[in-house]
Amino acid sequence: MTRRRDMQLQTLAIVGVGLIGGSVGLAVRRCSGGTRIIGVDGDSAALLCAKERGIVDEIATDVRSATAAADMVLFCTPVDSLAGQVLSAAAGARPGTVLTDAGSTKSTIVNSVEQRIPSEVWFVGGHPLAGSEKQGPRHADAELFRDRVVVLTPTAQTNEQAITRVTGFWQLLGARVLRMSPEAHDRAMAATSHLPHLVASALAGVLPLELIGLAASGFRDTTRIAAGDPALWSAILDANRDETLAALTRFEDRLKAFRLAIATGDREAVRNLLAAGRELRTAIKGDR
């Protein structure tokens, strides 16, 4: 009993109550009845919406005071300001407080935080592979993380007990937790997320305006993520610059192969390239 009580999350602070932070709040509410949730955001409209929707119990605009009251703090803020906020919060945290995040890139954040965080405060880098082109707490969804993957990126410096607690936290919300190094995470996300975002945006961006009435479901699917927030995504592409550019080079090489095959009328080569794409795509399980 004592042990279970120790493990239970008493007070969670969520910094950034947008789509991800808001969905975490709703999911915790559903899966962990006794937890008190403090929402922190610089955007007071988002905070009020989060309070109205019952995502959070209390609202705060100061990260330090919210952190001082919490056992765990989850940072769901843009990747370019995230490390600074974690470090600022850590300065006011009680020993043993677990700080974690939901940032889409990991190397820069984890390195920055680990270089300066006090040793008695614990940080675990994380990234739930769930989201949407929609934004804000009004789109928050308690089921957003169910059956989704959450990547944690501990290093040699990360406290094992903190990893266990953050792992248990996401599992409670229905997610499957994987561990990778920050570098492996960023390399993988360049291929699965950052390059696709850039490509979807470029595809939408070069469509002549007079043709939008002719865009059928294929175009809509392929470009859906291009509706994401340009400010958030320019920060992500910047934070994962080298890996994104390396993935872009591999993609451009594939386009060159397509161009050559199409230009020379080599239908078999085109078919083989298409078959390679189809094979990979149909190997992905669990579309929903």
Q: Which of residues 31-60 bind its own copies (CB under 8 A)?
A: none
Taking the complex as a whole, the smallest distance from the CB of residue 84 to its own copies amounts, in Å, to: 16
**Is 275 one of the binding residues for its own copies (CB under 8 A)?**
yes
**Distance in Å, CB of 5 to its own copies, minimum:** 35
Residues from 150 through 169 that contact its own copies (CB under 8 A): 151
- Buried b / exposed e over 178-216, threshold 16 CB at 10 Å, is eebbbeebbbbbbeebbbbbbbbbeebeeeeeeeeeeee
User: Which of 7, 45, 91, 227 touches its own copies by CB under 8 A?
Assistant: 227
For strand 11-15 and strand 149-152, is the pairing parallel, antiparallel, or unpaired?
Answer: unpaired
In the range 246-265, which residues lie near its own copies by CB under 8 A? 247-248, 250-255, 258-259, 262-263, 265
Among 33, 34, 95, 213, binds its own copies (CB under 8 A): 213
Q: Indicate the SS3 state at residue 152.
A: strand
The distance of closest approach from Cβ of residue 18 to its own copies in the complex, given in angstroms and rounded to an integer, is 16
Count CA atoms closer than 13 A to 3's CA, side-chain side.
0
DSSP assignment, residue 210? Answer: G
Q: Binding of its own copies at residue 76 (CB under 8 A)? A: no
Element (H, E) at 195: helix 195-205
Which residues within the stretch 169-188 sit at the binding site for its own copies (CB under 8 A)? 178, 188
Q: In what order do the strands lie in the sheet with 98-101?
A: 58-60, 36-40, 11-15, 72-75, 98-101, 122-124
3-class secondary-structure state, position 124: strand
Residues 6+ apart with CB under 8 A from 117: 86, 87, 90, 99, 123
Q: Residue 12: phi, psi to the nearest 5?
A: -110, 130
Q: Which is nearer to its own copies, 35 or 108 (CB)?
A: 108
Considering beta carbons, is residue 165 or 185 the nearer one to its own copies? Answer: 185
Shorter beta-carbon distance to its own copies: residue 73 or 173: 173
Residues 260, 241: Cα–Cα separation, whole Å: 28
Residue 48 or residue 269: which is nearer to its own copies going by CB? 269
Closest distance between its own copies and the C-beta of residue 197, in Å? Answer: 7
Count of residues interacting with its own copies (CB under 8 A): 87
Tell me the closest approach of the beta carbon of residue 21 to its own copies, in angstroms: 18
Rounded least distance, CB 253 to its own copies, Å = 8
156 vs 214, beta carbon nearer its own copies: 214
- Chain residues 82-141 in contact with its own copies, contact rule CB under 8 A: 129-132
Q: Which is nearer to its own copies, 77 or 244 (CB)?
A: 244
Binder of its own copies out of 7, 45, 91, 276 (CB under 8 A): 276
Beta strands 149-152 and 126-128: pairing type? antiparallel
For residue 285, give both structure tokens. 């399980």
